[in-house]
Amino acid sequence: MAETGAARLVDLHAHIMPGVDDGPQTLEEALAMARAALADGVGQIVATPHVRDSGLTREEFGRRLEDLRRAFAAHRVDVEVHPGAEVSLEPDIFRWLAEGLAWPIASTRYVLVELPFFAFPPYTDEVIFRLQVEGYKPILAHPERNAFLAAKPERLQALVERGVLVQITATSVLGGFGAQAKSAAVAFLERGLVHVLASDAHSAAHRPPLLTEAAREAERIVGPGAWSLVSANPAAILGDGEEIEPARPARRARRSRYGEAR
């Protein structure tokens, strides 16, 4: 990864915890994912299982996370794993957070939330507002795969203007989820609406971590600032930072009619 030198990438959204959702089902699969991520230049991963209706508690998740960390150390897989969750954005989120059935990223107030893929529920704005009133900082996962937001990027812009952070998925940027998701991801990058680029990896083979390749593609759209989406920004989120800026397209020099840059 020549673009970032010796720096290590941070993957803020990955389903690497074995046996809890549609990610890896065995420790061996989780180890394969971690090795693939490490080979891609990733040094830190946030384990973000789906927690809606899973019955998994924050306490049990913590125990499983420690087991996973010990396994990584035993197998000499030098990847740091942080706690997180991917939480369905719906009115019950407040009960889940209160009862330990959902939780923020690491020890921060950032909560990774997701919408249904084919709807923008009418309660969305109110739930986001209430989360912010209660001190949480919502990060909206993969909005490019939401049909409503993909067709109406101005609605995503309105959320960003209200303080919502946006995470798009590497596979979307690379076209793996189809033309609509890729087009939306590109549009969001061009509008300066993206704060984080993450893998949303589910396995080493079928939904692998592809951060470096996706960051290179994003760099073609917004310039070198794309690398902040996989390094500085997710690292700042893990540190509960306050000012997380989106990557904005680099301004290109205008040329006069004589071909000289202005």
Q: What pLDDT, on a 0 to 100 scale, did the predictor assign at position 66?
A: 98
Q: Residue 260 — pLDDT band, cuts 50, 70, 90?
A: very low
Assigned fold of 2-238: TIM Barrel (3.20.20)
2 versus 76: the higher-pLDDT residue is: 76
Residue 69 CB: number of other CB atoms within 10 A? 16
Strand-pair category, 196-198 with 165-169:
parallel
Q: 58, 79, 59: which is closest to 69 by C-alpha? A: 79
Q: 5, 64, 77: which is closest to 37 by C-alpha? A: 77
pLDDT per position as a tens digit, 101-110: 999 999 999 9
| Mean pLDDT, the chain, integer | 92
Inter-residue contact 233 to 9 (CB < 8 Å): no
Q: Residue 251 — pLDDT band, cuts 50, 70, 90?
A: low
**Owner of token pair 């990847």:** 79
pTM across the whole model: 0.92
Query: In this prediction, what percent of the chain has a pLDDT beyond 70?
Result: 92
DSSP 13-67: EE--STTSSSS-SSHHHHHHHHHHHHHTTEEEEEE--B-TTT---HHHHHHHHHH
Torsion 17-54-128-116 (CA) sign: positive
Q: What pLDDT, on a 0 to 100 scale, did the predictor assign at position 254?
A: 40
Q: 61, 64, 63: which is closest to 101 by C-alpha? A: 61
Average pLDDT rounded to a whole number, residues 19-32: 95
Compute the distance between CA of residue 214 and CA of residue 199 in angstroms, rounded to an integer. Answer: 9
pLDDT per position as a tens digit, 134-188: 999 999 999 999 999 999 999 999 999 999 999 999 999 999 999 999 999 999 9
Torsion 103-108-109-112 (CA) sign: negative
Is the pLDDT reported for residue 29 higher than 60? yes
Is the pLDDT reported for residue 111 higher than 60? yes
Q: Residue 207 — pLDDT band, cuts 50, 70, 90?
A: confident
Q: What pLDDT, on a 0 to 100 scale, did the predictor assign at position 208?
A: 84
Helix (H, G, I), strand (E, B) or coil at 201: strand
Name the token pair of 193: 């609406």
Is the pLDDT reported for residue 131 higher than 60? yes
Is the pLDDT reported for residue 126 higher than 80? yes
